[in-house]
Amino acid sequence: MDDRLQTLITPTDSGFHQMVRFGMAGAVSAVADTGTLYILAEIAKMYYLYAGIFGYLVGIIVSYSISIAWVFPHRNIKDRRLEFAVFAAIGIGAMALTELILYAGVDIIHMNLILAKILSIGLVFFYNFGVRKVIMFRKPSKSAI
């Protein structure tokens, strides 16, 4: 098997490779999130900040699924319900930051909604990766929750 393909599909402890994978997972999550935002805000005419919350929740589910299956080989929390709750709680902090950026972009700066969303994705990516890596997916110590 080609070394690049092997690197892409096998579990890795490399922080760089995990960040690249998290970025790819984030791209898929961002499509799900932004697609939901667009459908709810532009087509269904839901208030954009409410639509942003629903979109972000869809993105959290997609991101969690990809993260546990492909991005991070170590899982420090054995109870999967607790693990998802912690993952989602970190995501709620990111969602608050996202909503703040959307509000500032749309209502204060008068940016296009989708451009404001793209800006928020870029800024929130590093928060999500760093916090989740440190709290949830670091190489295990002697004990795990």
pLDDT surpasses 70 at 13 = yes
C-alpha–C-alpha distance, residues 32 and 14, integer Å? 27
Q: What is the pLDDT of residue 138?
A: 81
Residue (of 125, 130, 137) closest to 59 by Cα position: 125
What are the pLDDT digits (tens) for 36-91?
A: 999 999 999 999 999 999 998 999 999 999 999 999 888 888 899 999 999 999 98
Q: What pLDDT, on the 0 to 100 scale, is given for residue 145?
A: 54
For the cut 70, the answer to whether the pLDDT of residue 140 exceeds it is no
CA distance 123 to 117: 10
pLDDT 10s digits, 87-100:
999 989 998 998 89
Task: Report the half-sphere exposure of 25 (CA within 13 A, side-chain side).
Answer: 23
pLDDT at 2: 73
Neighbours of 141 (CB within 10 A): 7
